[in-house]
Chains A and B, each alone.
Chain A
C-alpha cells in the first residue's frame, strides 16, 4: 500500500508540471497585466518599461515559467535596463514555497489565498453537507419506492434542477426571498456580502448571509446527486445478496444501511472525491453574484486584471488538491469494497 501511494505521488509530478506549463502559456495570452495598473490614469511608457522589467515580464515565457517555478535568486537581474546586472533576484519560486506577489495588490499570493480559503470553505463545506443529507434521503427513498409519486416528482425536479443555469436560479432566489419577502414585510435574506458592515463579522450574521448562496448551490447539486444515488441503490437492491439478507429475516433498516448502502456508496465516493477538491476553488458564478469574498471571486477578479501570480496560485492549489483527493478516493475504495487491492 505504501509503495502504491508513493508511486501515485511520483506519477503526479509530471502531471502537475504539464498542467502548470499549459496554464502559464494560456495566461500570458490573456492580455496585458499592466493594462489596469495605473487605475484610470494611463501609464507613461518609461514607467511601463520599468514595471515590465520589475515584474519580469520582459523575459521570454519559458524563462518566466522557470522563474515562477524555481525562482530567480540564482540568476542576475537587470532592473534599470542598462544592460548591466544589478545583482541577484529575490524570488524563490513555487517549488520552494514562494508563490510570487500579486501584480495588483503587491502582496504575497499565499497571504491573499490564505485569507480567502476559510471563507470559501465555510460556504462550500456547508453546501456539501446539505447536498449529501438531502440527496441521500431523496435518492434512497426514490429507489425504495420506485415509480411512486415522490419518485416521479423527484425525477422531474432533478431534471429541471440541472437544466438551469445556476445564476438564473440565484437571480430567482434573490428575487423571491430578498425582493419579494421585503415587499411583503416578511423577514428577508441579504443578497450581498458575508456580514452586515454595521453589525460586524459575527456568527449569526455570517450564517444569515450564507442561506441564499448555500441554497442556490445545493439545489443544483442535489438534483444530480440524488439521481445518482437512486441509480446505484436500484442496482444494488436487485442483487442476490440483498435477497439473502431478506431471507435471513434481517430488518429492512439493517439491510438498507448495512448491506445496500455500503455497496451503493462506492460510486458516490467517486463523485464526492471529485467534487471536494473543486470546492476549494469556490464557485465563481455564485460567489460573484452574492459578492461572497471567497476563492471563486478572487479568481474572477484576478482574471479581470490578468493577475497571473494569483491565477496560477488558485489553479495550482486546486490541481494539487484534485491529485491528492483522487488518491484518497482510491484508498477509500478498499474500505467499501475489500475485493479491491492495490499493490
Chain B
C-alpha cells in the first residue's frame, strides 16, 4: 500500500525524479510537520543542556553539601539557587536530567520488549497461548498504573545493591525504578502488536515464508515484525515521555531513586516542603520535566502522522 502510493506521488510531483521510498516520504511528512520539528529541536536543546552542562559542573559539585548557603535564592553564583543542604540546583538539574532521561529510555526499552514479545507471540500462535497471554495482559491492564507502580516499587525496593556504570556510582534504586516503570506500561503496546499480527499472519508473504521452511521465530521477528514497526516506533517515543513522568510520580511519593543521586523527580519531592518560601527548588526541575516531555510528545505526534501512509503531504 505504502509502495503503491509512493509511486503515485512520484509520478505526480515530477517525471524526471525516481519515485520516493516510503522512508523518504515519511521523512518528508515529518519535516513539514511544524510541531514535530519544534519538538525535535527542543529535545535536542534539552539533550545539549544535560550533556554540555556536565562539562561545566562535576558530579561531586552537584552532590556537595554546603551548609553555609542552604536554601539561598537564585544568584549569580547559583543561578537556580540552592537546596536544603546547600547543593547547587543548576548542577543537580543537569545530573538529575541525565538520570531521568536515562530512566525514561531504559524503561521504554523494557516495556517495548515485553509488549512486542507478548503481543507477537499471542497474535502469531493464537489459540491457548493467546488466551493465556491476553488474560494476563488484561489482568495487569485492569489495575490503574500508579497503584501498580506503588505496589511493585515497594516490593522491589532495597533488593538491588549500589553499582557503578560509566564511572558513576548509582544506587540500586535506579534499576528498581526502571524495571517497575517498564513492567507496568507494556500492556497497551502488546494489544496493538497482537492486533496487527492477527491480520498480518494471514497474508501471502507469511505463507510463502512458511512454505520455504522458515522457523516460527524467524517468521515472527524477521518477516512480520518489520511490517508493524510504525505503531511500535510511535508508542516507544511516547513511552519515553510517560516514563519520565512516571519516574517523577514514583520519586515524588518517595519510592524512587534515593539521594544523593539526583533526578528531576526526587528534586521535586524534596522541594515539596519548601512550597511557599523557596519556589526555585520546585520550579526549575518541574519546568525541565515539562519541556522534555513536551518535546517528546510533539515528536511522537509528528512521527505518528509521518509514518501513516494515508497522511496527505
Contacts and interface: CB of A to CB of B under 8 A. Distances in A.
Contact of B241 (A163, A166, A315, A322): A163
Given A15-B135, A165-B268, A171-B272, A318 B144 contact: yes
Interface in A27-80: 27, 29-31
Q: Which of B140, B146, B272 lies at the interface centre, i.e. has the most chain A CB atoms within 10 A of its CB?
A: B146
B276 interface: yes
A179 B286 CA distance: 18
A284 B253 contact: yes
A225 B260 CA distance: 38
B150 interface: yes
B150 A303 contact: yes
Main secondary structure of the interface of B (DSSP, over half): helix
A15 B253 contact: no
Contacts of A18: 135-136, 139
B259 interface: no
B253 A168 contact: no
Interface of A: 14-15, 18-19, 22-23, 26-27, 29-31, 159-160, 162-168, 171-172, 174-175, 179, 278, 281, 284-285, 288-289, 299-300, 303, 306, 311, 314-315, 318-319, 322-323
Interface string B262-303: 000100100110011001001000100110011001100100
Interface of B: 35, 135-136, 138-140, 142-144, 146-147, 150-152, 154-156, 241, 245, 248-249, 252-253, 265, 268, 271-272, 275-276, 279, 282, 286, 289-290, 293-294, 297-298, 301
B34 to A, nearest CB: 10
27 contacts: A15-B135, A15-B138, A15-B139, A29-B156, A31-B155, A160-B294, A164-B289, A164-B293, A165-B245, A165-B249, A165-B290, A166-B249, A167-B248, A167-B249, A168-B248, A168-B268, A171-B268, A171-B275, A171-B282, A172-B286, A175-B275, A179-B276, A281-B144, A284-B147, A303-B154, A315-B143, A322-B142
Main secondary structure of the interface of A (DSSP, over half): helix
B285 to A, nearest CB: 9
B264 to A, nearest CB: 9
A221 to B, nearest CB: 14
Given A159-B301, A168-B282, 8 more contacts: A18-B139, A19-B143, A26-B155, A164-B286, A285-B253, A300-B253, A311-B151, A318-B147
